[in-house]
């Protein structure tokens, strides 16, 4: 079977290289490509994704998988080869159901959609993006029809980002979480609000950029294997474990945007850089799922970056960088960056209200896929749900329905992974603190080697060998559980707001 394994690895390496090439073009589109390049880029992306699809659905690949299945069944189920066969077969069985024609059409639509979204967001005009979103939604609806073995059409899309997770599972988690978060937000609303006015003043953009780089360098981001650039919406992308790039955006008069966006994307990148080298170009080099990926970004952004011990180390340096903060005591700064206030922009939302943004988007995505809501009505429904969920109303499309890039790229089925990632992050955090009893003191001293080492050993090195629920259970002893997250939020905000 050794020869067949080599053949499988060769096929998977070709698929990986083509996928990385497509990712490189996508990175360029979101960072440096001139506006006029959108149509040509759409053609290029369509060709690459069509080539990927051809190889991922080839008869040759199917035959090799059939020959290797008995061999894989005889191995330790957690071995690299057994998992490679299992993960590849799962992807193959999904891919063969999708016509190549659909792959090309979807690629072209999403590439043009991203460019239209950028223009629409810049002009705060949903009508520019509307026809593109209508086309993308129609293609996502068609995609769901290729699969008849799911309980709900949305399961099909969710499964692409969160393997084996069901819409009903996500709804059940959210239904249990929502009333507790609403209760916490109401309790906070009854208390005196903390002051964060010092965060809303001019901050030199270059100094913000440099400070963010200093922090993530301490986290362990390897600049020989990555770089940072600006983008309209922050993202991380990988062209292999030795080329993992991040982007962020900078607000000239609000510190949180760049700072926590950079920490967030660094968390994604550390995951990508930490995959075991032997998994590269095998189909196992990605993360376990988008939720597990989000657990890493939210862990570094919130559990580390918004913690009091972290700022005991880094706040004096921030004050040196921005003397306008010299009169702001550490405790006041800490409370300010953790202020709970319903707001318009998801990526800048506080931890207590963040998941409500996700629940809103999940409801809209399901309604769009079911055909119960028309794209033309989305801006009004978005604003209505923002009032219902958060008590705020967007003043423009840019601060409302156009704030996220995901739909423009066709990533419908994605948003719930953000909230699931929050839950997983705290589950992992409780286990980390058990295994590293002096973690708080290490963070206070700006030492992150043991934390990163734990994540590399328990999470990163496995790539996508394990399904998300399976990985979380292996590491923490239970599947995704909202209880640790609820405990964390209650404790943190009880202390900040004297609840």
Looking at the annotation, which residues are catalytic? Answer: 265
Q: Are 397 and 125 in contact (CB under 8 A)?
A: yes
The answer to whether 258 and 209 have CB atoms below 8 angstroms apart is yes
204-207-209-210 Cα dihedral, nearest 10 degrees: 180
Pairing status of strand 236-238 against strand 244-248: antiparallel
Distance CA 89, CA 410 (A): 24
Helices 290-298, 255-273: inter-axial angle, 10-degree rounding: 130
Beta bridge partners of 160: none
DSSP track, 111-138 = HHHHHHHHHHHHHT-HHHHHHHHHHHHH
Give alpha helix (H) positions in 32-99. 38-56, 59-74, 80-95
Type and span of the H or E element at 216: helix 205-219
Q: Helices 126-145 and 100-123: crossing angle, nearest 10°?
A: 160
Which alpha helices (H) appear in 391-447, and where do they start and end? 416-435, 439-444
Helix count and strand count (H, E) for the chain: 20, 3
Strand partners, 248: 230
Q: Give the whole-angstrom CA distance, residue 28 versus residue 21.
A: 11
Per-residue burial over 196-218, b = 16 or more CB atoms within 10 Å of its CB, e = otherwise: beebeeebeeeebbebbeebbee
Angle at 337 between CA 333 and CA 341, to 5 degrees: 125
Question: Is residue 94 classed exposed, middle or buried when 0-12, 13-18 and 19+ CB atoms within 10 A define those classes?
Answer: middle
**Buried/exposed 449-470: b ≥16 CB within 10 Å, e otherwise:** eebbebbbebbbebbbbbbbbe
Rounded to a whole number of angstroms, the distance between the first and last alpha carbons of the chain is 63
Residue 436: which of 408, 410, 455, 460 has the closest Cα?
455
Give the β-pairing of 236-238 and 228-230.
unpaired
- What is the SS3 assignment for 323? helix
Q: Helix, strand or coil for residue 230?
A: strand
């Amino acid at each position: 079977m050794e020869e067949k394994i080599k053949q499988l690895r060769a096929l998977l390496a070709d698929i990986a290289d083509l996928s990385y090439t497509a990712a490189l073009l996508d990175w360029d589109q979101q960072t440096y490509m001139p506006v006029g390049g959108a149509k040509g880029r759409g053609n290029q992306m369509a060709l690459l994704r069509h080539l990927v699809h051809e190889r991922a659905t080839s008869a040759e690949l199917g035959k090799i998988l059939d020959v290797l299945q008995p061999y894989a069944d005889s191995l330790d189920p957690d071995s690299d080869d057994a998992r490679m066969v299992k993960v590849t077969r799962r992807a193959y069985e999904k891919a063969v159901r999708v016509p190549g024609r659909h792959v090309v059409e979807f690629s072209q639509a999403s590439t043009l959609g991203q460019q239209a979204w950028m223009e629409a967001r810049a002009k705060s005009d949903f009508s520019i993006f509307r026809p593109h979103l209508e086309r993308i939604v129609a293609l996502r609806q068609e995609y769901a029809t290729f699969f008849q073995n799911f309980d709900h059409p949305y399961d099909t899309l969710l499964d692409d980002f969160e393997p084996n997770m069901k819409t009903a599972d996500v709804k059940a988690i959210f239904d249990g979480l929502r009333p507790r978060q609403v209760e916490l937000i109401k309790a906070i609303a009854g208390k005196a609000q903390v002051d964060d006015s010092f965060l809303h003043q001019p901050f030199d953009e270059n100094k913000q950029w440099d400070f963010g780089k200093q922090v993530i360098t301490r986290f362990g981001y390897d600049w020989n294997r990555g770089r940072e650039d600006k983008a309209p919406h922050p993202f991380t992308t990988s062209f292999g474990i030795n080329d993992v790039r991040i982007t962020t955006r900078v607000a000239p008069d609000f510190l949180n945007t760049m700072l926590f966006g950079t920490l967030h994307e660094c968390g994604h990148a550390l995951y990508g850089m930490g995959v075991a080298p032997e998994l590269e170009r095998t189909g196992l080099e990605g993360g376990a799922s988008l939720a597990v990926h989000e657990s890493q970004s939210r862990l570094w952004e919130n559990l580390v970056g918004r913690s009091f011990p972290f700022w005991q180390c880094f706040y004096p340096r921030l004050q040196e960088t921005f003397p306008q903060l010299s009169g702001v005591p550490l405790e006041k700064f800490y409370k300010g960056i953790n202020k709970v206030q319903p707001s318009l922009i998801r990526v800048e939302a506080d931890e207590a209200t963040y998941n409500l943004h996700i629940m809103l988007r999940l409801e809209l995505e399901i309604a769009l896929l079911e055909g119960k809501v028309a794209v033309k009505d989305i801006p009004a429904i978005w604003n209505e749900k923002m009032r219902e969920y958060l008590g705020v109303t967007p003043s423009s499309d840019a601060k409302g329905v156009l704030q996220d890039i995901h739909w423009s790229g066709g990533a419908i089925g994605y948003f719930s992974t953000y909230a699931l990632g929050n839950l997983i992050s705290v589950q992992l955090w409780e286990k980390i603190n058990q295994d590293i009893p002096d973690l708080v003191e290490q963070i206070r001293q700006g030492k992150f080697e043991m934390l990163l080492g734990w994540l590399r050993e328990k999470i990163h090195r496995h790539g996508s060998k394990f399904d998300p629920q399976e990985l979380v259970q292996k590491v923490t002893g239970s599947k995704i559980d909202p209880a640790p997250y609820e405990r964390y939020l209650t404790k943190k905000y009880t202390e900040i707001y004297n609840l």
